[in-house]
Structure 1
Amino acid sequence: MREGAVHSDFSAIGSGEFIERTFGYNRLRTESNRTKKDWDHIRAVMLLVGAAEVRLRRAAEEEEEREPPPPQPPSHHSNHQFASMKNKFFNEITHLPNHKLKMPMWAVGAIVVVVLALVACLGFCIYKKCFIKGKKPKKVRERKGGRGRRKKDKEGEEAEEKKEGEDGKEEEEKEFFGKLEYTLDYNFTENQLIVGILQAQDLPAMDMGGTSDPYVKVYMLPDKKKKFETKVQRKNLCPVFNETFTFKIPYNELGGQTLVLQVFDFDRFGKHDVIGDLKIPMNTIDLGQPIHEWKDLVGGEKEEQEKLGDICISLRYVPTAGKLTVNIMEAKNLKKMDVGGLSDPFVKVVLQHNGKRLKKKKTSVKQNTLNPYFNESFSFEIPFSQIQKVQVLITVYDYDKLGSNDPIGKCWIGYGASGVGLRHWSDMLANPRRPVAQWHTLLPEEEVDAALKAPIR
């Protein structure tokens, strides 16, 4: 029985394993001098030991099969596990004695900071991956829908801008430029149109000080040959003029003309600004009786500056002799005054001292030319004590045999002048006994006369 059980156990563990466990039984048997009986006892003992070992192993396996598996710890969220591991790590670090840590506390703090930074980065990555990634389709939808909204908003803005532009145009149309009182009368016996400029009110301020220096220019269209101007009213937004001007025009020619009343702001050192104007077509009014009325000024269109031409003048002054020499050298590009497209120009030179006329001279007439050459000199006796307040007025006329001579243009040199006129005079005084030549642009006669009438600042 025992031997059969042992053999059963031996067959269970296998012959190869048994031979290994008996330390090479066959090899020992051949090499040893023991008797067969002794080896039978040894073999029996080894079989018993092997059988016992097999039984113990089987018993252990059966016991393991009977016992239930050890309960696994309940699964927690990864964040809870990470938090518990982190707390355990920090507790172990804080409870480690300094002799085991073998590093200063600042190093521990640095490690803690690094760990916290890593934790923050990890948390940010988790948040970005879990939450932001899931919101992308919504953003795309919002973007696609936003295009329509932006287009509608843009159209709305354009509509508002268009509306504002229309409102701005209405405001410009409603802008007020003041009003002008005038009179019109026609003398049928003398063929004269009499224009009275009485006063203006509520003119806009054109100067920095909140005032204006208004005057009125009166002329007929399309013929601009004859122009009149009122006196300049200094610093006045409600000026009173009370001036009368006369145009000699046959009644049968009057219907095709337009009367222009143009209000300017005088500027001594620059171009005069248009405040407003009135245009009165003669064929729309009844001149059978005098007209007296107020009318609102319309935003004035700047009168196109006609190119009247240029003139070259040479000045020479000898202080010791008190002698001023004015040489009218030549002119160019003069305005066409005759029907044939030419002019018959001549030059008048007027010498004034402190606004008082002293002498006047004239050149010869140059026939049928717009670029006359004169080279004519005129001498004036002016003491050195008076030269500072001398004015030289140069006027170019178109000679007319049958009527009055028409002014082409005018310029002004000397005391109170500005720009080129002042610079030419200063150069002459700075270079005594030496002739100084300069080109001057001709201006409308009435514009120069208005500047001469204005007080010198």
Structure 2
Amino acid sequence: VLLPVAVLGVSHLPKGLGSSRDSYVKVYLLPKFVEPQRTAVRRKSLHPEFREQFQFGHYRLEELRGFTLRFAVYAKDFRSLRDSFIGEVMFPCAQATWCPEAASSYTRELSTTKTKLKKSTTLGQLFLLLQYQALANRIKVLVRKAENLGRLTRVPGAPDHYVVIQLYCDGRVIDSKETKSIAGSSPVWNAPFLFSIPAGDIQDQQLCLEFTVMQARLYLRSCALGRVLIGPHAPQAGLLHWQEMCSRGPVESARWHVIQP
């Protein structure tokens, strides 16, 4: 799947030394760290219109939902070698309306805090399937696979990885399970688990699933690479996956999740 992204325009840019600014926008797809794409420079305007379209791809639709688009606005400074950063928008692709026949548009306020992009912070992605079995009062979890897992040490060779899944209720662990250990940076587990939950409406319970990706080496202690949280109070993709699971009933819900430190 190709991901087309259009930058329509920016409004109410802060004034520079004069009454207008020359500006452009850089578009990043994270955490892939592909080369950013940028618009042309729009001159002498505090409300520049760009109306330029870019494409990122090819990726699976489930993979795209785990990405984040970063739009960074810069002012062109012809007197120095470096352009000045004005602001940015971080847009999780999980928040987009995915309809192949129609485009969807969004307006976001610029943040003046610049995100530091470091490749070393990319820990990889985890592909999970969830199913809410209401009649049985349980959640089915399938830990499918991971991709592009980071390395915690410089020891040569491919490390093993396994995933520890913990179910929280009211802030305490009520069940814990783990996958078997698989070698490589893109392991495939295909490991299903069943978690029993208290009887009652799942929407009224303080539940949370935590997936901790562990990295192990022979003769070395296992270390936590990162984690994924899914629940009613989880951030971004974790919240959306939980809501999707609760609303779909017996239908499985599958998503990619970016592993967080």
TM-score with structure 1 length normalisation?
0.30
The structure 2 residue matched to 1:330, chosen from 126, 145, 156, is: 145
Q: Tell me, which stretches of 5 or more residues in structure 1 are unaligned?
A: 1-160, 162-268, 272-299, 445-457
Alpha carbons 1:319, 1:383 under 8 Å: kept: no
- Letter of the structure 1 residue corresponding to residue 246 of structure 2: L
1:380 counterpart residue number: 195
1:347 aligns with 2:141: no
Shift of 1:340: 1.8
The structure 1 residue matched to 2:118, chosen from 304, 311, 326, is: 304
1:9-24 superposed matches below 5 A: none
The structure 2 residue matched to 1:402, chosen from 196, 216, 219, is: 219
Alpha carbons 1:397, 1:409 under 8 Å: kept: yes
Please give the secondary structure, in 2, of the residue aligned with 1:399: strand
The whole-number CA distance in structure 1 between the counterparts of 2:115 and 2:250 is 47
The whole-number CA distance in structure 2 between the counterparts of 1:422 and 1:341 is 36
- Letter of the structure 1 residue corresponding to residue 256 of structure 2: W
2:176 counterpart residue number: 360
Shift of 1:323: 1.5
- For 1:2-34, what per-residue CA distance to the aligned partner results, in whole angstroms no more than 9, with x for missing partners? xxxxxxxxxxxxxxxxxxxxxxxxxxxxxxxxx
Shift of 1:357: 0.8
Shift of 1:329: 0.3
Alpha carbons 1:346, 1:364 under 8 Å: kept: yes
Alpha carbons 2:159, 2:217 under 8 Å: kept: no
Alpha carbons 2:164, 2:176 under 8 Å: kept: yes
Shift of 1:304: 2.6
The whole-number CA distance in structure 1 between the counterparts of 2:260 and 2:198 is 30
The whole-number CA distance in structure 2 between the counterparts of 1:377 and 1:334 is 21
1:317 counterpart residue number: 132
The whole-number CA distance in structure 2 between the counterparts of 1:313 and 1:443 is 15
- For 1:77-125, what per-residue CA distance to the aligned partner results, in whole angstroms no more than 9, with x for missing partners? xxxxxxxxxxxxxxxxxxxxxxxxxxxxxxxxxxxxxxxxxxxxxxxxx
Higher relative contact order (CA 8 A, sep 6+): 2
- For 1:283-341, what per-residue CA distance to the aligned partner results, in whole angstroms no more than 9, with x for missing partners? xxxxxxxxxxxxxxxxx994736110001000001111101111100000011345225
The whole-number CA distance in structure 1 between the counterparts of 2:245 and 2:117 is 34
1:371 aligns with 2:186: yes
Please give the secondary structure, in 2, of the residue aligned with 1:427: helix
Q: Percent identical across equivalent pairs?
A: 28
The structure 1 residue matched to 2:240, chosen from 417, 423, 426, is: 423
1:434 aligns with 2:251: yes
Please give the secondary structure, in 1, of the residue aligned with 2:189: strand
Please give the secondary structure, in 2, of the residue aligned with 1:391: strand
- Letter of the structure 1 residue corresponding to residue 239 of structure 2: L
The whole-number CA distance in structure 1 between the counterparts of 2:170 and 2:147 is 30
Query: 1:443/1:341 Cα in 2 relative to 1: closer, same or farther (>3 Å)?
Result: farther
- Indicate the structure with greater helix content: 1
Instruction: Please identify the structure whose Cα radius of gyration is greater.
Output: 1
Query: 1:303/1:439 Cα in 2 relative to 1: closer, same or farther (>3 Å)?
Result: closer
1:216-235 superposed matches below 5 A: none
The whole-number CA distance in structure 2 between the counterparts of 1:374 and 1:327 is 9
Shift of 1:382: 1.0
- Indicate the structure with greater strand content: 2
Alpha carbons 1:400, 1:406 under 8 Å: kept: no
The whole-number CA distance in structure 2 between the counterparts of 1:303 and 1:438 is 24
Query: 1:309/1:341 Cα in 2 relative to 1: closer, same or farther (>3 Å)?
Result: farther
Shift of 1:385: 2.2
1:392 aligns with 2:209: yes
Please give the secondary structure, in 1, of the residue aligned with 2:198: coil
Q: Point out the more displaced range, 357-366 or 395-404.
A: 395-404
Between the two proteins, the alignment pairs up a number of residues equal to 148
- Letter of the structure 1 residue corresponding to residue 144 of structure 2: M
Alpha carbons 1:349, 1:395 under 8 Å: kept: yes
